[in-house]
Amino acid sequence: MKKIIFFLFIAVWTLWGKSIIPLSKTKFRIDYDNGKSRIADLKGREFIVVSVREPGSDGRFYAVDRDGVVWWSGPLTSGADDFKTPSGIYPVLYKKRYHMSKNYPDPSGINNMDYSIFFTRYGHALHQGSVNWMSHGCIHIDPKDIPVLFRWAKPGQTRIVVTRSSYMPFARHDLLKFHIH
């Protein structure tokens, strides 16, 4: 019964669309392929905005607390052209401290997805990786930043917002306060 409730919860909170447009620190417009749109307001929730590394985006993540304060940010890389990271608002499904990709294992046998924060059932995750090269669809977070996000993100509670738009206009003021550049 718990699994059924969990998956119903996930289905309700997984909002994927053609595009996710930040409207404010906590509000996002979701445009769907059918031409319809809706507004998602994450006020009072913890979430991580992933502004993918593409033209028109920031190539950064932003950790936003329940009060709407951007308290951590850093560079990232996302899916290469043939492996686009899907736009959407997703719950953190689960976390795994040590992990090797099943689809793209490292030939050396060394884990290549440590500190994984999974957000789609297809295996997309934020995880430790080089921010110098694009991924197979996951979000590479710098090794100095990912342990902080990993400890903070809570499965079923924290949301991951993947956008192809800039979030910096909404984050700039907080980042200057914390001297994060």
Instruction: Please give the order of strands across the beta sheet that includes 27-31.
Output: 19-22, 27-31, 37-41
- Phi and psi for 126 in degrees, rounded to 5? -85, 135
Q: What is the pLDDT along the chain (181 residues), one digit of tens a residue?
A: 444 444 444 444 455 558 999 999 999 999 998 999 999 999 999 999 999 987 778 899 999 999 999 999 999 988 766 767 889 999 999 999 876 566 655 666 565 678 999 999 988 999 998 888 866 678 999 999 999 999 999 999 999 999 999 999 999 999 998 776 5
Domain spans, the chain: 2-178
Q: What is the pLDDT of residue 78?
A: 81
pLDDT at 132: 80
Question: How far from 165 is each of 50, 82, 98, 132, 175, CA to CA, in Å?
Answer: 9, 19, 31, 20, 18
User: Could you tell me which CATH number the domain at 2-178 has?
Assistant: 2.40.440.10
For 152, other C-beta atoms within 10 Å of its C-beta total: 15
Task: State the pLDDT at residue 180.
Answer: 61
pTM of the shown model: 0.85
Give the Cα separation of 101 and 108 in Å (integer).
12
